[in-house]
Chains A and B, each alone.
Chain A
Amino acid sequence: MSERIPKGAVVLLAALLLCAPPFYLDAFWLRIGLFSMAAAIGAVGLGLLTGTAGQLSLGHAFFLAVGAYGYTWLAGEPGPGLPTGLAALLAVLLAGAAGGLFSPVAGRVRGIYLGVATLALVFLGHHVLLTADSVTGGFNGRSVPPLSIGGFSFTDDDPGLVLLGVPFGAEERLWFLGLALLAGTWWTARGLLRGRPGRALAALRDSETAAAVMGVDIARHRSAAFVVSSMYAGLAGVLLALAFRRVVPDYFGLALSVDYLAMIVIGGLGSVAGAAAGAVFVTALPLLMTRYADQLPLVTAPGTTDGGVGPTEAARYLYGAAIVLILLYAPDGLRGLVRRVRTRLRPAPPAPAPATRPSASALRTKEPTP
């Protein structure tokens, strides 16, 4: 145990590393980072619902849309034109309320059946986004009003800002906003998972009967998990809208929901870090492949029509393959892989050797309990 690095130091180091990119990388990379952070927030929410509570949801895109459009409408014109900070908060609550409205279904329907029920939400949401022109802007979507909190706006110049010789534009500023939101998500989700609600959810995932007999109100916990997951999705939606600067209905389709499922499966169900890692993988891969399409074999540049595989499709093939490989060889996802590598690197575990246990069972009856 002594060679272990203290936890505080690891967190500090990670924070320093994550704060560095805006000073060294250009806007392209920062945007990839932003999308990844937004996706990570959404994936953590879905991980709570699917990984911990065992409830499949294909409606995550709907709640992302509620967050993104909710913010855009609340803060923009046409719309109430609220202060943007308040609009962002309300958008998250709106997504939670939307999840709450669905809770009569979410509380009663189990596992894969909930997945099918939530499918309806995605189609419904997409239809509404296309048709409710006055709120959503229809097919062309709406431009997103930039966030500004207490006179500090997350745009290129207002007020102009230069830190350590680096001009801080929208991406640089949003990077830190994203980091703060992701840290908040991480912290709250870990707290939830390790606390009373998380344990109750895991118990009802593993056996509904046993959980009920232990006093867990099944329907209430299922709906609550759905609401919390929707709120994380709403927050992710707000950040996505800010990063994209424009919201369009076609982004929030079924494919997005499936992407989020892919994230949590690749990352490892039931873990916050896994969900975040999966989100980075699934989000960054297509963007990187688009950027380097000309240098990659078998991939044609976007926009060419000679029948080759475009970078987006290629990325989909790749992560499809990644899912299959992970399900076959690392069912615990990236998290399980990391854990396995770590146990292999570490010499003999200091824990009481479990190998000697069975033969000691006779002795154990006399041994005083510490």
Chain B
Amino acid sequence: MSLRPTTGTTPGRLPAAPPPLRVRDVTVRFAGLTALDEVSFTVAPGSVHALIGPNGAGKSTCFNVLSGLYRPSSGQVLLGDETLTGRAPHRIAALGVARTFQNIVTTEGTVADNLMVGRHVLSRAGFASTALRLPRAVREQRAHLARAREIAELTGLAARFDTPVALLSYGDRKRVELARALCLEPRVLLLDEPVAGMNGAERARTAEVIDTVRAELGLSVLLVEHDMGLVMRLADEVTVLDFGRRIAHGTPDEVRRHPEVLRAYLGTPGEDAPGEDVPGEDTPARDAGTRGTTAQGTTAQGTTAQGTTAQGTALEEATDSEGDPV
């Protein structure tokens, strides 16, 4: 594989459209529990694809399969012509698949240090040349640092570039993860709940960043998110999982009206008491999650989750006026 562009003339690999990411009949079993049951979907080149579903539906498991942390019992994941299943995580990263985590996982040090970890696969300097500070290693590091700074600017972290991550606010740290993933110059970006736990302003800002990087870097995005407002605003396509199975698929509007989706999120109308009891047989965590989503979904008509704050409403309006971004 050739060395990808590192200096900031053109950000990333703009011209070449990313290859499609195809998930084919992926099944994952954990000791009797089927976490994913023959799930298939395709992330079209350059699109934002959302993966939604109640807690425990298998979204994070799916991400772990995509990034090589889990091996599926059967099925395949393909990026263009390359098979991702069976490859070690670092090899998948080298193919241009980057991800963020649901709970923030950053490294001790400054924002710059973290972003430079993202440049790892794109740089070469080994132990010997770094220890001896050979000109090649020094030059490479400088070029990558310049690019990391550009990405920090793109994601609104430029002012905090040299700040230790530990001192940043929650929203900023979440954005550091996003920026670090972008530092891999990925062709496919996997975002696991990028706005979870953020306040309205932070959400709007992150949504803006995702929109910008998609437009400027031309990458495909696979998004797991509970914030339906964000999903409806950003996604071109939505796949809905429940109990590890794909229950619906389509554009945000189609999915919103899909009867299976309404049932999974809101429960079956008319049989409230028994309907509430069915998930109770499952794990308690799942039950709580389902109820939580149900309550939020009901108040906001399934369009925005987690409270209709001023920002939330603004976000919704923005979605309507903007239509499809890009």
Knowing A197-B126, A200-B120 are in contact, say whether A215-B90 is a contact too (CB < 8 A): yes
A256 on interface, CB distance cutoff 8 Å: no
B285 within 8 A of A: no
Q: Which of B93, B109, B132, B169 contacts A213 (CB 8 A)?
A: B93
Residue B99 lies at the interface, judged by CB distance under 8 Å to chain A: yes
| Contact A361/B201 with A197-B126, A197-B130, A209-B69 known, Cβ cut-off 8 Å | yes
Judged by a CB distance under 8 angstroms, whether B108 is at the interface is yes
Among A13-21, A185-193, A238-246, A306-314, the stretch that binds chain B is: A185-193
Q: Are A188 and B67 in contact (CB under 8 A)?
A: no
Stretch at the interface among B77-85, B111-119, B256-264, B317-325: B111-119
The number of chain B residues with a CB under 8 A from chain A is 50
State the CA gap A351–B162 with chains docked (Å): 10
For the residues of A in contact with B, the DSSP-based class is helix
Q: Are A188 and B132 in contact (CB under 8 A)?
A: yes
Q: Which B residues, 138 to 184, have Cβ-Cβ distances below 8 Å to chain A?
A: 141, 153, 156, 158-159, 163, 167, 169, 171, 180, 184
Within 8 A of A (CB), among B203-224: 204-205, 208
Q: How far is the CB of B147 from chain A (nearest CB, A)?
A: 14
- Contact present for A215 and B120 (CB under 8 Å): yes
Quick one: which of B90, B116, B125, B137 has the most chain A CB within 10 A?
Answer: B90
Interface centre among B99, B107, B125 (most CB of A within 10 A): B107
Verify B159–A352 contact, CB threshold 8 A: yes
B201–A209 contact, CB under 8 A? no
Q: Does A135 count as interface, using CB distance less than 8 angstroms?
A: no
| CB closest residue in chain B, given A209 | B69
B101 in contact with A210 (CB, 8 Å): yes
Bound Cα distance A191, B132 (Å): 7
Q: Is the pair B204, A199 in contact by a Cβ cutoff of 8 Å?
A: no
Contact A202 B132 (CB under 8 A): no
B interface secondary structure, majority: helix
Q: Check B120–A214 contact: CB distance below 8 A.
A: yes
- Please tell me if A370 contacts chain B, counting CB pairs below 8 Å: yes
A196 to B145, CA, bound (A): 11
CA distance A350 to B124 in the complex (A): 36
| Alpha-carbon separation in the docked complex, A88 to B31 (Å) | 55
Point out the residues of chain B lying under 8 angstroms from A199, CB to CB: 107, 109, 113, 116-117, 120
A192 touches B130 (CB 8 A): yes
| Residues of the B chain whose Cβ atoms lie less than 8 Å from the Cβ of A216 | 90, 117, 120
CA distance A255 to B90 in the complex (A): 38
Q: Size class of A's contact patch?
A: 35 or more
Interface membership of A127, Cβ < 8 A: no
Quick one: which of A197, A209, A213, A214 contacts B127, CB cutoff 8 A? A197
Q: How far is the CB of A347 from chain B (nearest CB, A)?
A: 19
Given the known inter-chain contacts A199-B107, A218-B90, please indicate yes or no for A211 contacting B117, CB distance below 8 A: yes
Q: Does A228 contact B (CB under 8 A)?
A: yes
CB neighbors of B among A325-357 (8 A): 351-352, 354, 357
In the docked arrangement, what's the CA distance between A176 and B186, Å? 50
Is A304 close to B, CB under 8 A? no
Please tell me if the beta carbons of B109 and A202 are within 8 angstroms of each other in the complex: yes
CB < 8 Å: which of A195, A213, A369 contacts B137?
Answer: A195
Within 8 A of A (CB), among B177-198: 180, 184
- State which of A196, A351, A370 has its C-beta within 8 Å of the C-beta of B141: A196
Contact present for A362 and B201 (CB under 8 Å) = yes
- Which residues of chain B are near A218, meaning CB under 8 Å? 90
In the complex, A203 has a CB within 8 A of chain B: yes
Within 8 A of B (CB), among A194-237: 195-200, 202-203, 206-207, 209-218, 224, 228
Are B105's CB and A210's CB within 8 A?
yes
A151 at the interface (CB under 8 A from B): no
B185 to chain A, nearest CB (A): 11
- Evaluate contact between A191 and B99: CB separation under 8 angstroms: no
CB distance from A322 to the nearest CB of B (A): 24
What is the chain B residue whose CB lies nearest that of A207? B105
Listed in ascending order, the chain A residues whose CB lies under 8 Å from chain B are 187-189, 191-192, 195-200, 202-203, 206-207, 209-218, 224, 228, 270, 351-352, 354, 357-358, 361-362, 364-365, 369-370
Contacts A192-B127, A212-B68, A364-B205 supplied; 14 other A-B pairs, CB < 8 Å: A191-B130, A191-B133, A196-B119, A202-B117, A206-B108, A207-B105, A210-B106, A213-B67, A213-B69, A213-B93, A214-B117, A215-B120, A217-B90, A270-B108
What would 23 A/B residue contacts be, using CB atoms closer than 8 Å?
A188-B131, A191-B131, A191-B133, A195-B130, A196-B123, A196-B130, A197-B126, A206-B107, A206-B108, A207-B105, A211-B117, A212-B69, A212-B89, A213-B69, A213-B89, A214-B117, A216-B120, A224-B127, A354-B167, A361-B169, A364-B156, A364-B205, A370-B153
Q: Could you list which residues of chain B lie within 8 angstroms of chain A, going by C-beta atoms? A: 67-69, 88-90, 92-94, 98-99, 101, 105-109, 113, 116-121, 123, 125-127, 130-133, 137, 141, 153, 156, 158-159, 163, 167, 169, 171, 180, 184, 199, 201-202, 204-205, 208
The 9 A-B residue pairs with the shortest CB-CB distance, nearest first, are A215-B121, A215-B93, A195-B130, A212-B89, A188-B131, A210-B105, A207-B105, A203-B117, A206-B107
